[in-house]
A and B are shown apart, each in its own frame.
Chain A
Amino acid sequence: MANCTEYDLRKWHLASIRLLLLVLLALLTLVLPRCGKGKKAGTDEIRVGVVLPISGREAKPGQYQREGIELAIHQINQSGGILVKERGKKLSVKEVFYDDGSDQAKSAGLVERAITSDNVVAVLGGYSTALGEAESVMPDRYQTPWITTGAAATTIFSRGYQYIFGTLSPTDLLGYTTAEFLGSLVDHKKLHKGLKLALALENTDHGLDYGKGIDKWIQEHPNYFSVVFSEKFELGSTDFSGLLQKVKNTRADIFLADAHLQDYITMHRQYIQTGMYHQMISYGARGPEADARKALGDATNYIFAGIWWSAKLPYPQVNKFVADYQAFTGHPPDSWYPATAYDAMRALAAAIEQAGSLNKNAIRDQLRNVELKDSLLPGQVLRFGKNGQINATFVIVQNKPDTKVDIVYPPDAATGEAIAPKPR
């Protein structure tokens, strides 16, 4: 009987200890998040979410965009931060970074996480159209401004969202400017009128928009060119021989593709290996990347590309940015990637300062009015349109021998003359 009582007592003790532990655990669960939130919601910093791919297939451009944003944040913080009138002082900017691994679902989830858990006032990111599209559904849901630094498809900005902005001009303008550049070569008697175009477009909204832009220019300027072939291909294809054979069969004079970097390298290798020749070749926004030049060598010579920004733009702020970027990262900017991200962060900083508050709606309203007059982008003024997307012109660059790249269009920004037709 005594043993039985002792056993019961021990059992009771154990039960009490378990209960106590449970209560403690429950208390900790309640208290700890509050402690975290108290810290998060600190008044001495402005938290900005950055969701970009620094792993996976879009890792490299994503990394460059991150560097652009971080350079802008570094410079803002060095100057004391952003003046927020409501708080009566300058607040430093704190980046909350997430790598989406080039995964669409993850990308959207991380934007949601940054908004709901990290107390950010806005989110930057969304490199590549596919990832940007995935992210674009979140900002309006949580009424938080989002600026995409690397997605340009018009579909993102045509859904009536109120909290989304973008520092890339629409891709149809890229196609339009590409055709306009070719048209200018006809006007300068470098190319003949009536040439046949073959289009190979990646099967994304980016590719579709690019094709639409070209079609639009051709319709507005009859007799310049005709499209004799237009077909879509899948991202990350391992073989383009069938597609290139179809292009070859059309006997087109100009070959225009819209491709991501890996596809550009694979396709152009096969293009050279099949001994094809066109008077002009472009891979859309790809062309001058250092990786492509390493992978293809002299075979990239005379390829032209329409890009959102070039380090050769003749603006003083561009020269300063290039020097600052080199000092900050240890390498020069490769293509346009860091510039649009850098300007996105600066535009956000300007909007916060104009709003004088960390209220997300006030920041959104000011993003609609913001005018960055020392923008790095062509035209030097960054202003978001009614749909949230900027509409700056593109620059056309052409690869020249010895890894030289020249801006060849528009004429007022040109650093060299376009070579057309491409030498055999």
Chain B
Amino acid sequence: MSAVDLLNLVIAALLLAGVYAAMSVGMTIVYGVMKIVNLAHAGFLMLGAYFVYELYARFSIDPLLGVLLAFPVFFFIGLGVHWILIRRIPSSDQPTLTSLLLLFGLWLVLQNLGYLIWGNADRAILTRRTLYVLQIGPISFPAVRLIVFGAAVASIGGLELVLHKTWFGRAVRALMQNSDAGRIVGVNVEKTARIAFGMGIAFAGAAGGLLAMLYSFSPDFGGSFLLRAFVIIVLGGLESFAGVAIGALILALAETFSILVLPASYQPAIAFSLLVLALVVLPEGVAGLWNKRHRLA
């Protein structure tokens, strides 16, 4: 393989990491604050994809603008879901069976709602950007993947900024570290959790819109991303947004480069293997390792 091919592959992996990070951020927020594994995440990815598709197909709204619009719309949907369902789950420091079952059920409901509204046809968004490739010398940058990568970087950067520079961010970090201690120092746990859940769903909806620019989708869209999102947040350390970026990068690099030496049919096994490896060797994820080293230093 030539150096150019290798470089193209590195770029493909980086851009894939962008896709993976974009779809995992929402799940991390919800887990970090509420210790809930949001199995309905895939359902909101699917709804986000259809939201952007409908805006494009009916009103010719550019998918990128659609993604931006998805954010506030899904934020309020998230608030609604929290008010109707999530606030009724007993709070816990660990994911509970109740929350898993409830959110799995919600995913099924969303999926079937999708079938009711849109039927079972595969949809896809085709714009001038879809197949456009930015060619810099011998290196190819697929435009849509670049956009998704940029959106992922902006999401993670923006979240880090919010977490470190705002009162809400400090409250979220306090809850991520120790909810009881957070409550003692005056954090409104209920309100913070509600907003965090809304944000998690908003990121899921926007990520769904971004994925719709890359893939064809139907109401069962999102399932294959759910496992990857879970692997990424476990690899990243469950509650760390910088960890999400690292987890996404590890998974994307592993998937892209392992195929050069392994048959492509082993690709799904790579995500599973990484999950098992992370749980056994690095249960606190990359962020946990980083924090440990930082403390030791």
Contacts and interface: CB of A to CB of B under 8 A. Distances in A.
B208 to A, nearest CB: 14
A360 B74 CA distance: 55
A201 B130 CA distance: 25
A60 B115 CA distance: 12
Interface string A206-246: 00000000000000000000000001111011111111011
29 contacts: A54-B120, A55-B115, A203-B265, A231-B264, A231-B265, A233-B264, A237-B268, A238-B228, A239-B16, A239-B19, A241-B12, A241-B256, A242-B257, A242-B259, A243-B259, A245-B9, A245-B260, A246-B260, A246-B264, A248-B5, A249-B1, A262-B122, A265-B124, A266-B216, A273-B133, A275-B140, A291-B216, A295-B124, A295-B216
Contacts of B54: none
Nearest to A63: B120
Contacts of B64: none
A104 B40 CA distance: 23
B90 interface: no
A233 B267 contact: yes
A153 B92 CA distance: 50
Interface string B234-271: 00000000000000000010011111100111011000
B167 interface: no
Interface string A270-304: 10111100000000000000010011110100000
A234 B267 contact: yes
Contacts of A248: 5
Interface residues of A, number: 42
A236 B225 CA distance: 10
Report which residue of A241, A262, A296, A299 has the largest number of chain B beta carbons within 10 angstroms of its beta carbon.
A241
A241 B122 contact: no
B264 A232 contact: yes
A232 B142 CA distance: 25
A238 B224 CA distance: 8
A277 B140 CA distance: 14
Contact of A59 (B120, B126, B257): B120
B145 interface: yes
Majority secondary structure of chain A interface residues (helix, strand, loop or mixed) = helix
Interface of A: 54-57, 59-60, 63, 102, 200, 203, 231-234, 236-243, 245-246, 248-249, 261-262, 265-266, 269-270, 272-275, 291, 294-297, 299
Nearest to A293: B126
Contacts of A203: 265
Nearest to B9: A245
Q: 5 nearest interchain CB pairs?
A: A59-B120, A242-B259, A295-B124, A273-B142, A241-B12
B214 A269 contact: yes
A237 B115 CA distance: 22
B216 A242 contact: no
A242 B126 contact: no
B121 interface: yes
Contacts of B91: none
A299 B133 CA distance: 13
A325 B159 CA distance: 54
Contacts of A55: 115, 120, 219-220
B128 to A, nearest CB: 10
B24 interface: no
Nearest to A233: B264
A60 B121 contact: yes
B181 interface: no
Contact of A231 (B8, B115, B225, B263): B263
Nearest to A298: B131
Interface string B123-166: 01010001101010000101001000000000000000000000
A294 B125 CA distance: 8
Contacts of B83: none
A133 B57 CA distance: 38
A299 B132 CA distance: 11
B215 interface: yes
Contact of B122 (A261, A270, A275): A261
Given A55-B120, A246-B260, A266-B215, 14 more contacts: A54-B120, A56-B120, A57-B218, A57-B220, A63-B120, A232-B265, A237-B267, A241-B256, A246-B264, A266-B216, A269-B131, A269-B214, A291-B121, A295-B124
Contacts of B267: 233-234, 237, 239, 242
B108 to A, nearest CB: 11
B122 A291 contact: yes
Interface in B204-242: 214-216, 218-220, 224-225, 228
Nearest to B141: A273
Contacts of A291: 121-122, 124, 216
Contact of B260 (A56, A237, A242, A296): A242
B131 A272 contact: yes
A272 B267 CA distance: 21
Contact of A56 (B1, B220, B225, B265): B220
B256 to A, nearest CB: 5
A273 B9 contact: no
B121 A245 contact: no
Contacts of A200: 264
A296 B126 contact: yes
Given A273-B142, A299-B131, A234 B265 contact: yes
A72 B257 CA distance: 50
Contact of B5 (A56, A57, A245, A270): A245
A241 B133 CA distance: 14
Nearest to B133: A273
B264 A242 contact: yes
A51 B5 CA distance: 47
Contacts of B121: 59-60, 291
A59 B119 CA distance: 9
Contacts of B5: 245, 248-249
B216 to A, nearest CB: 5
Given A233-B265, A234-B264, A275 B135 contact: yes
A291 B214 CA distance: 15
Report which residue of A237, A238, A291 has the largest number of chain B beta carbons within 10 angstroms of its beta carbon.
A238
A59 B218 contact: yes
A287 B37 CA distance: 39
A364 B230 CA distance: 49
